[in-house]
Amino acid sequence: MAKEKRKILVLVEGAKTDVALMERLLATYQIDFKYEIVPYCTNIYTLYHEMFEDNVPADMDLLQLLKSREPDTSKKAMFDDFYSDILLIFDLDPQDHSFTPEKISVMANYFVESSDMGKLYINYPMVEAFYHMVSIPDPNFDSYYVTLDELTAGEYKARVNRENQNHDYRKFATKKEECDIVIKQNIKKAWRLVRNDGGDNLPPTQIEILDAQLSHMRRDRRVAVLSTCAFFIPEYNPKLIH
């Protein structure tokens, strides 16, 4: 993403935790662009059904699809605006009955450019991964995985609440310095998943991360806890992360 001033549409999965986290990140890093945060209010596999299942995605207009789904008529006009970039923030949710590796791979390979069709950032297994640290920094963060059985039983969110540093998301990473550490730990973990070393200051591609995670799922029935929703910040400007 280039550094000139722009207007961004941020499409998130949920209306509460997801919106609150993206608002916090955008405020913390004071990135100089206008933005709209829009909750999709359902998971990424619904988006697959609406855009990919019986359609050619290149022939679809994502903004008009979102406009058709918006129940508040006063908000529909926002989808007629021009956005220089579109970010899609979704959870992997491998426990969902609609999940297949093929579906998520198709979307990860399609949504690769924020200034064109949009760029997809996947949270593993879900947005709560950002808060899954017992301290900042957390020396054990690389070892955190969640099993498919945990996800199927609906136990992961309770686990994060139990293991979170403050047991309160509002008190977690409230300073920029702490957010920097959380983001850098996630980038380092992503690189270790992809190629077993510390990697660079910029993250691997979303496709590389997804391929590594799907490999873990096939082999061990588990997913590495990883938050990628903040990776747009160092991709926008690496100097923002100290």
DSSP 184-234: HHHHHHHHHHHHSS---SSPPPHHHHHHHHHHHHHHHSEEE-B--TTTHHH
On the question of pLDDT at 201 being above 90, the answer is no
Residue pLDDT, tens place only, 65-122 = 999 999 989 999 999 999 999 999 999 999 999 999 999 999 999 999 999 999 999 9
Q: pTM, whole model, 2 decimals?
A: 0.94
Please give the pLDDT value at position 6. 83
Amino acid in the structure at residue 210: L
Strand spans (E) along the chain: 7-12, 34-39, 85-91, 112-113, 118-123, 145-147, 222-224
User: CA-based angle 125:188:23, to the nearest 5?
Assistant: 60
pLDDT band at 5 (very low <50, low <70, confident <90, very high): low
Dihedral of alpha carbons 130, 143, 103, 45, sign: negative
Closest CA to 117 of 71, 93, 85: 85
The alpha carbon torsion through 86, 40, 217, 157 (nearest 10 deg) reads 120
- Work out the average pLDDT over 34-49: 94
Please give the pLDDT value at position 198. 65
State phi, psi for 212 to the nearest 5 degrees.
-65, -40
On the question of pLDDT at 3 being above 60, the answer is no
User: CA-based angle 14:233:212, to the nearest 5?
Assistant: 75
pLDDT band at 31 (very low <50, low <70, confident <90, very high): confident
On the question of pLDDT at 211 being above 90, the answer is yes
Residue 118 DSSP code: E
Taking each helix axis from N to C end, the angle separating 176-195 and 17-29, rounded to the nearest 10 degrees, works out to 110
Please give the pLDDT value at position 2. 47
Amino acid in the structure at residue 230: A
Residue pLDDT, tens place only, 135-181 = 999 999 999 999 999 999 999 999 999 999 989 999 999 999 999 99
Tokens of 219: 């082999």
